[in-house]
Amino acid sequence: DVKVTQSSRYLVKRTGEKVFLECVQDMDHENMFWYRQDPGLGLRLIYFSYDVKMKEKGDIPEGYSVSREKKERFSLILESASTNQTSMYLCASTGGGEETQYFGPGTRLLVL
Amino acid sequence: QQQVKQSPQSLIVQKGGISIINCAYENTAFDYFPWYQQFPGKGPALLIAIRPDVSEKKEGRFTISFNKSAKQFSLHIMDSQPGDSATYFCAATQFQGAQKLVFGQGTRLTINP
């Protein structure tokens, strides 16, 4: 079974802090994604990566950056957290020509 | 062009009834339409998916109906059960490259016992 794990289930941070969210997948997938989920807005793509050290902006990249130094790990960085970044963050991966995206359990981030 | 619009936002159905969730899209280049199911505290998981070369796909109690000319597709859950209570997302993508999914807004489904 594909497993996607996220470093934290819940995080509470202060405005202006730098925040790191980490995601690890164990299926050697080449594609990895970061989404945020907000009620009534569905899942919106922040960034994705189709290879090590490669990244592309999604629909809402402002205020975020990403890092992919190893194939199995994809990190989302909030350079200076703001209250409007309070949300559920979901990581997903896919690869090997497969269409299914496999999601982690999510990180619920509260920025005070 | 990239949007997928989903309705309703929330839905309450009696046990044994039929749950219907609808989605509409604009981009005619989309060629893969999955539905994801999300239980509280979990990430979304693929439930069922369809390609536009067929008008219907059925897996157990779950059916996708697809209308290419209207650019609409829907999820039908027959004999709905309390265990089906979850949030459902439709999505669409072009099957190329990194397969970016465009998601609908989500539907919170509650099945009353």
Domain assignment present for B112: no
**B33-90 tens-digit pLDDT:** 999 999 999 999 999 999 989 999 999 999 999 999 999 999 999 999 999 999 999 9
Give pLDDT tens digits for B88-105: 999 998 766 567 899 999
The Cα–Cα gap between A18 and B45 comes to 30
pLDDT tens-digit profile of A2-15? 699 999 999 999 99
Distance (Å, whole) CA B53 – CA A36 = 31
Distance CA A20, CA A9 (A): 13
Q: Is residue B47 part of a domain?
A: yes
Cα end-to-end distance, chain A, whole Å: 37
CATH number at residue B79: 2.60.40.10
**Integer distance in angstroms from the first to the last C-alpha of chain B?**
40
- Cα nearest neighbour of B33 on chain A: A99
Domain boundaries, chain A: 4-111
Select from B4, B23, B39, B101 the residue whose CB has the most chain A CBs within 10 Å, as the one to mutate to test that interface: B101
Tokens standing for B69? 């000319």
Note the pLDDT of residue B98: 60
Instruction: Determine the Cα angle at A43 with ends A9 and A64, to 5°.
Output: 70
- Give burial (CB, 10 Å; 0-12/13-18/19+) of B35: buried
Quick check: is B86 in a domain?
yes
Is a pLDDT exceeding 60 seen at residue B1?
A: no
- Domain of B51? 4-107
| Whole-number pLDDT of residue B71 | 95
- Is residue B113 domain-resident? no
Q: pLDDT tens, A33-89? A: 999 999 989 999 999 999 998 999 999 999 999 999 999 999 999 999 999 999 999
**A85 by DSSP, 3-state: which?**
helix
Residue of A nearest to B50 (CA): A99
pLDDT tens-digit readout, B4-22: 999 999 999 999 999 999 9
Amino acid code (one letter) for A61 = P
Count of domains in chain B? Answer: 1
**Chain A touched by B1 (CB under 8 Å):** no
Q: How far is A62 from chain B (nearest CA, A)?
A: 18
| Single-letter amino acid code for the residue at A27 | M
The pLDDT, as a whole number, for residue B96 is 65
- Fold classification of A4-111 is Immunoglobulin-like (2.60.40)
Asked whether the predicted pLDDT for residue B2 surpasses 70, the reply is no
